Chains A and B, each alone.
Chain A
Amino acid sequence: MLRTRLQPLHPIAWWCWAGALAAAASRTTNLLLLGLIVAVCAWVVAARRGNSPWARSFGALLRLGVFVIVIRVVVQILFGDRTAGTTLFSLPEIPLPSWAAGVTIGGPVTVQALLGAASQGLRLAAILACFGAANSLASSFRLLRCVPAGLYEVAVAVTVAITFTPQVVLSIARVRDARRLRGRATSGLRGWRGLAVPVLESALERSVALAASMDARGFGRRVTSSGRRRATAVVTLGGLVGLGIGLFEVLDSGGSSGIGLAVVGLGGALVVAGLVAGSHGPRSRYRPDRWRAAEWLVLAAGLAAAAGVVVTGHTDPNALSQPLYPLGLPALPPVALAGILLAALPSVIAPALVPMRATLHGALA
Chain B
Amino acid sequence: MITFDRVTVTYPDATAPALENVSLIIEEGQLALVIGATGAGKSTLLRCVNGLVPHFSGGRLDGAVTIDGRSTEQYRPRDLADVVGYVGQDPDASFVADTVEDELAYAMENLGVDPATMRRRVEDVLDTLNLHALRQRAITSLSGGQRQRVAIGAALTAAPRALVLDEPTSSLDPVSAEEVLASLARLVHDQGATILVAEHRLERIVHFADVVVALGAGPAEVRLGPPTEIFATSELAPPVVRLARQAGWTPVPLSVRDARRHAPGLRQRLATAKRPAPTVTRGDRIARVKSLSVSYGPIPALAEVTIDLHAGEVVAVMGRNGAGKSTLLHHLVGLRRARRSAVEVLGREPAALSASEAIRLVGLVPQDPGSLLCAETVEAECRSGDHDSGLPAGTTRAMLESLVAGISPGSHPKDLSEGERLAVALALVLAPEPPLLLLDEPTRGLDYRAKERLARHLRALAGRGHCVVVATHDVELVTEVADRVVVLADGEMITDGPARSVVCHSAGLASQVARILAPAEWLTVEEVAAALGEPLVGERSSR
* Interface, chain A (partner B; CB < 8 A): 51-54, 139, 141, 145, 156, 159-160, 163, 166, 174-175, 177-186, 194, 197-198, 201-202, 205-206, 208-221, 223, 281-288, 356, 358-365
Contact = CB atoms under 8 A, between A and B. Distances in A.
Given A183-B389, A221-B78, A287-B105, A361 B112 contact: no
Contacts of A284: 108-109, 112-115, 118
27 contacts: A51-B138, A141-B97, A141-B99, A174-B371, A177-B330, A181-B335, A181-B364, A182-B359, A182-B428, A183-B355, A198-B371, A209-B90, A210-B93, A212-B88, A217-B78, A217-B107, A217-B110, A218-B81, A221-B110, A286-B118, A287-B105, A287-B115, A360-B296, A360-B324, A361-B142, A363-B297, A364-B301
Nearest to B321: A361
A358 B297 contact: yes
Contacts of A362: 137-138, 140-141, 299
Residue from A186, A210, A216, A363 having most chain B Cβ neighbours under 10 A? A216
Contact of A215 (B78, B115, B358): B78
A122 B52 CA distance: 53
A52 B52 CA distance: 32
Given A282-B112, A283-B109, A216 B81 contact: yes
A281 B363 CA distance: 55
B78 A141 contact: no
A286 B364 CA distance: 44
B414 interface: yes
B188 interface: no
Contacts of A220: 78, 110
Contact of A217 (B118, B155, B358, B359): B155
B542 interface: no
B101 A209 contact: no
Given A283-B112, A363-B298, A365-B141, A163 B98 contact: yes
B96 interface: yes
B84 to A, nearest CB: 8
B102 interface: yes
Interface residues of B, number: 81
B94 interface: yes
Contacts, number: 206
Interface in B226-256: none
B56 A211 contact: yes
Given A178-B366, A286-B102, A360 B299 contact: yes
Interface in B125-144: 136-138, 140-143
Given A181-B363, A221-B78, A283-B110, A206 B93 contact: yes
Nearest to B364: A181
Contacts of A283: 109-110, 112
Interface in B270-299: 295-299
B222 interface: no
A174 B94 CA distance: 19
A6 to B, nearest CB: 10
Nearest to B429: A181
Contacts of B324: 360
Contact of A178 (B88, B112, B158, B371): B371
Nearest to B117: A284
A220 B109 CA distance: 11
A215 B56 contact: yes
A63 to B, nearest CB: 17
Interface string B40-57: 000000000010100110
A221 B355 contact: no
A214 B110 CA distance: 10
B356 interface: yes
Interface string B329-364: 010011100000000000000000001101110011
Nearest to A173: B335
A128 to B, nearest CB: 22
Contact of A184 (B300, B322, B355): B355
B374 A197 contact: yes
Residue from B78, B301, B385 having most chain A Cβ neighbours under 10 A? B78
B76 A288 contact: no
B393 interface: no
Contacts of B330: 177
Contacts of B115: 284-288
Contacts of B114: 284
Nearest to A220: B78
B399 to A, nearest CB: 15
Interface in B488-524: 491
A213 B110 contact: no
Contacts of A223: 112
B209 interface: no
Contacts of A166: 140
A214 B96 contact: yes
Contacts of B154: 217
B81 A181 contact: no
Contacts of B414: 201, 205
B388 interface: yes
Given A180-B358, A197-B374, A358-B299, A141 B93 contact: no
Contacts of B110: 217-221, 283
B364 A217 contact: no
B374 A198 contact: yes
Contacts of A198: 371, 374
A356 B137 contact: yes
B186 interface: no
Residue from A184, A217, A356 having most chain B Cβ neighbours under 10 A? A217
Nearest to A184: B355
Contacts of B56: 208, 211-212, 215
Contacts of A212: 52, 56, 77, 88
A212 B82 CA distance: 15
Residue from B80, B114, B138 having most chain A Cβ neighbours under 10 A? B138
Given A175-B371, A186-B355, A287-B119, A361 B96 contact: no
Contacts of A201: 414
A182 B389 CA distance: 8
B9 interface: no
A134 to B, nearest CB: 16
A182 B143 contact: no
A183 B358 contact: yes
Contacts of A221: 78-79, 81, 110-111
Interface string B295-321: 111111100000000000000000000
Given A206-B93, A212-B88, A216-B78, A179 B107 contact: no
